[in-house]
Structure formats: C-alpha cells, structure tokens
Amino acid sequence: MNDTAEKASFSLVRLWPLALLACGIMLFFLLELDRYLSFDTLRDNRAFLTEWTAANRISAIFYYILLYIAVVAFSLPGGAVMTIAGGFLFGPVFGTLWTVIGATIGATLLFLAAKTALGDVLRAKAGPAIRRMEAGFQDNALSYMFVLRLVPIFPFFLVNLAPAFLGVRLHIYVIASFFGIIPGTFVYALVGNGLGAIFDAGETPDLSIIFAPEILLPLIGLAALAMLPVLYKHFTGKKGMGAAS
C-alpha cells in the first residue's frame, strides 16, 4: 500500500465517529423519533411512566441515563424536555443527578469523537487568531469551561464540541461539564418536580425560566467566581490548569 492510500485509509478511520453521528441524527428524524421527546408525549403517558418508574426504579434510572447519553452524544433536540422529565420521574435531587451523569457521559463521547476526527486537522489549518484563542483557552481551560457550562450563552451541543477543537484535556472537560451543568439542570428538574400541576392546569413548562433574572443572575455570579483564577493569572503572570501537553 502506497503512502497516498495509507493516508486515505487513516483519514477514513478517523472520520468514522462523525459518520456514525450523522447516521444517528438522520435516523432520528427519518423515524420521526423527535415526536417522543415532547411534552405532549410526556403528558399523555405520565400515568404509565410514573407507575412503571415506581415499580422498576433501577431499570428506569438505567434507561433514563442511557437515553440521555444518546440525546447528548448525537446532539438531538429534546435535552430540556428530558431534564424536566427527569425531575418529574425522580424528583429534583435525583433527577438532577441522573441527568448530569447522562449528559456528562454523552458530552464526553461527542468530545472524543470530534477530537479524534477533526481536532488535529482543524488546529493544523487554524489561523493566527484561532491559535491565540486556543492558547488562552488551554491555559485557563477549567475556568472557561465552567463559565460556558454555567451560563447558557451558547447552545449545549456547541459547548460540547468547541473544546475538542481547542485542545482541552479530557479530565478538565469532564470535571467542568459534570459540575458546571448542575445549577441549570437543577432549575429544570425543579420545574419537572411540579410538572403534574402544570399539566393539570392545561399548560406546558416555560423553558425560558433559565433566563429569568432570579435564575440567570446567580448563574452569572457563579461564572464570575469561576473567572477569578483567570484574572489572578492575568495580573500575576502565572500559568494555570488546562494547558494541553
């Protein structure tokens, strides 16, 4: 096998995660599975879901986490609905815990897929501005990751992917993802905990609640605290955690 063929074969091997991701998203919409990740489906089946969950607690937790992993790993719509459903079925505390576990695993799988397939290629072709951004992000990765996870500035799937292209270490990504999404997840799980009353009133949950001042301002405060190490390093000239080796 000549060098050209070897390089082509290597490229195909590296791109298989993205091919799998694309196939999963395509099948999701072709089979119209999106209709199941909706409040209408949850409302119509809430009696069955609550009874089955109560009778099959361990299985319910396992399937919920597995489904959440798939939703996040394939960047499927319905994450907010799933989170609220978690609060509805398991309560705010355990709903938050199972959601954070599933979301972190799913995000990590997507991170690894993107890093394997395109990370090195994109960094090699990146311009000076992107390279400077990468250097800054790597040097303060934990703080930046916490900010991106805490404050819903960018779509969740974008925050899952971008660190893979900026050389963030896996353990930094996992730690920041797990702890950074807890506050926002807990807010939606609390909404889910009162979902029965919302359905009884003929209403649907307000997904924009995360942007309410009494919710968003504390999240911004936590993000500001997460940025303190960056400011300290800036004024003292010290390097921090997260630089890629």
Dig out the tokens for 81 from the structure.
């609905």
Half-sphere exposure of residue 133: CA atoms within 13 angstroms, side-chain side: 10
Binned average pLDDT, 10 residues per bin, the chain of 245 residues: 48 60 71 76 90 95 95 87 94 96 94 74 53 66 87 82 82 93 94 88 83 84 81 64 42
Task: Provide the residue ranges of all domains of the chain, joining segments of one domain with +.
Answer: 3-236
Global confidence as pTM: 0.80
The pLDDT value recorded for residue 175 is: 94
Question: Residue 89, exposed/middle/buried by CB under 10 A (0-12, 13-18, 19+)?
Answer: buried
Cα 54 to Cα 70: distance, rounded to the nearest angstrom: 23
The pLDDT value recorded for residue 245 is: 35
The pLDDT value recorded for residue 74 is: 86
Cα 206 to Cα 161: distance, rounded to the nearest angstrom: 27
Cα 166 to Cα 141: distance, rounded to the nearest angstrom: 9
The pLDDT value recorded for residue 199 is: 85
The pLDDT value recorded for residue 65 is: 97
**Is 1 strand, coil or helix?**
coil
